Chains A and B, each alone.
Chain A
Amino acid sequence: MELTGAEITIRCLQEEGAEYVFGYPGGAVLHIYDALFTQDQVKHILVRHEQAAIHAADGYARSTDKVGVALVTSGPGVTNAVTGIATAYMDSIPMVIISGQVPTYAIGEDAFQEVDTVGITRPCVKHNFLVKDVKEIASTIKKAFYLAKSGRPGPVLVDIPKDISCQKTEFSYPTSVSIRSYNPAQHSDLGQIKNAVQLLLAAKRPMIYAGGGVILADASKQLTELVRLLGFPCTNTLMGLGGYPATDKQFVGMLGMHGTYEANMGMQYCDVLLAVGARFDDRVVGNVKHFSQEKRKIIHIDIDPSSISKRVKVDLPIVGDVAHVLNDLLAELHGSKEKPDQQAIAPWWAQIKEWRGKNSLVYKNSDEIIKPQFVIEKLYEVTQGDAFITSDVGQHQMWAAQYYKFDKPRRWINSGGLGTMGFGLPAAMGVQLAHPDAHVACVTGEGSIQMCIQELSTCKQFQLPLKIIMLNNRYLGMVRQWQQFFHGNRYAESYMDALPDFVKLAEAYGHVGMRIEKPSDVEPALKEAFGRKQQLVFMDFITDQTENVFPMVQGGKGLSEVILAEDL
């Protein structure tokens, strides 16, 4: 039987096991929406802005090991989606975006709602396609899912012109896919594994630095086993949180710009560094020159060769999937006659304990005014550390990362690479849909939340009982902090004036709103909110206006040149 291109598109999504497609309709995708309408296997989530469709698909993907799927129309549908796509690209999130395009015969004629989608998205997708023949829809979508998920994951866009989506052809879904020019590494070179084990066993001041690659590869089990077997300290990047249990005694906290003192000092002064699925980001190793002044051997596991020796020169590159490589490392270690020598690294641990003694995350609590860190600590307690936490971008994001101790992977969902304000709420929708019975909280600021606030309407329609934890400091706090430190306290445009009444706003959307102004109300309010299992609760915490995020390593500074709260 012949199917239309639109029907084929939906059949492909079914074949891929897509549960949800997040989208927004328009002229160029009308055939596809028609095909969606006549089936109920793939459920459509109607967002209120295309950016949110992508973030929701993204949150869905990050909290599962599946590919997120989004559907947008041509022109403004696509341009609205670009911020979301770039967000997913920077954090290597597997996603397939289907976009409508004007009919093939109208392309290039400044047709209504025409943009060069392939051109606009090229720099922020792993790959994209313009389908020019209905017979190629099925094979293209198959490739798109394969590319999105394999190797270093990323968003893949399939642009389908309107005439192609209504032409007919026979449907058969390819059972396998291979692309001659695309062969991501899997296993690593055994010689390299042996060399790595040698280096690790000889280390006197070892450090394991693990990032988002561990989460993406679902390799936190292997990482945990390796760290425990070796007895080494382990730090996570912002993207790696939950990759190693944060409550474990070998965990030294997050590193980088707002990382703990012990993690950054350990990173700076180690003699052997094992980097696992982490890309030496500039918010992790601020000043490469300063970092490289200390002599150390670096082993770097990454599936993408272009991540290796990009900012920091590496001594022992291992290109491969984190899970596979760690399995190989573990096997080699188990088989090796030499065992990790805890005695040899005892002085190093003593040094780390001394650094820990600085207690770099300590803050001064108050009876009068709500400290943002305190809210996160209470959130952690009330949810017993077991919630899915999404976040927006700013100070609240850093406090969430520092004070919520993630013991499991895929629980901490945030935009690290692009730092997209507006990510938190729509991402939480995707997470909640993937985990209907779980506690899902979005930690946000009064600035960020307003970038995608319209999604409160989507939450109503699909009954998503999110808990919105808004740390309301009446400032674009992260901007204000930089202005305080580096621009002589000149707070140019960082004050959030004319804020809405968020309680009423939540109620207007049909949700529950709460305003919390006293420290003693924080815990009871959180308990009440999480007790409301069926309702979305929007919590407006009026927090200390000028609290800053510490520790802080300024951009361009070295990891040991850190500012601690006590220094100011």
Chain B
Amino acid sequence: MSPTEDATLSRMTIVTSGSDEVIEQIYKQLNKLIEVVAVMDLSEGEHLERELMLVKVRAEGVVREEMKRMTDIFRGCIIDVSDKTYTIQLTGTGHKLESFLQAIDRSLILETVRTGASGIGRGDRILKL
């Protein structure tokens, strides 16, 4: 939940899954909440999805170079460095973040923090009241 350009409104992106009937019911149940002003199913049209992830990894010896390379390939950046660790920042779709975690040696991961997705319509498509 976060503020928007309109001080009276907050916005959140929810990622969920289910059959068409389940999604329809989720949509209706969200609309039913008294404080909800509008609900939009982003996946009904073209949309963008981004998530921020911070991963702290062990980065010693030979893996130190390898970690840096993988970070570059995924267009991430290393935002904190110690003798033994890197803290990597990565943005992208949930799918891309998953791929990164798959691509590196799991046993090197010390900590993972993710924001969850934020979504927005493509082009002229906006959530308008």
Contact = CB atoms under 8 A, between A and B. Distances in A.
A308 B37 CA distance: 21
A340 interface: no
B32 interface: yes
Interface stretch (A52-60, A177-185, A382-390): A177-185
Contacts of B80: none
Interface in B5-44: 21, 24-25, 28-29, 31-32, 34-37
A180 B31 CA distance: 12
A184 to B, nearest CB: 10
A306 B32 CA distance: 8
A25 to B, nearest CB: 29
Interface string A152-185: 0000000000000000000000000001111000
Interface residues of A, number: 13
A127 B33 CA distance: 8
B34 A305 contact: no
Contact of B36 (A126, A181, A310, A313): A181
A305 B28 contact: yes
Nearest to A310: B25
Given A305-B28, A305-B31, A306-B32, A180 B37 contact: yes
A126 B29 CA distance: 12
A304 interface: yes
Contacts of B29: 306
A147 interface: yes
A320 B34 CA distance: 17
Interface string A473-504: 00000000000000000000000000000000
Contacts of A126: 34
B34 A179 contact: yes
Contact count band on B: 10 to 19
B31 A309 contact: no
B35 A181 contact: yes
Contacts of A179: 34
Nearest to B32: A306
Which of B28, B31, B36, B37 gathers most chain A CB within 10 Å? B28
A304 B34 contact: no
A179 B34 CA distance: 8
Given A181-B35, A306-B31, 20 more contacts: A126-B34, A127-B34, A147-B34, A179-B34, A180-B37, A181-B34, A181-B36, A181-B37, A304-B32, A305-B28, A305-B31, A305-B32, A306-B25, A306-B28, A306-B29, A306-B32, A309-B21, A309-B24, A310-B25, A313-B21
Interface of B: 21, 24-25, 28-29, 31-32, 34-37
8 A-B pairs closest in CB distance: A306-B28, A181-B37, A127-B34, A305-B28, A182-B34, A306-B32, A181-B35, A306-B29
Interface of A: 126-127, 147, 179-182, 304-306, 309-310, 313
22 contacts: A126-B34, A127-B34, A147-B34, A179-B34, A180-B37, A181-B35, A181-B36, A181-B37, A182-B34, A304-B32, A305-B28, A305-B31, A305-B32, A306-B25, A306-B28, A306-B29, A306-B31, A306-B32, A309-B21, A309-B24, A310-B25, A313-B21
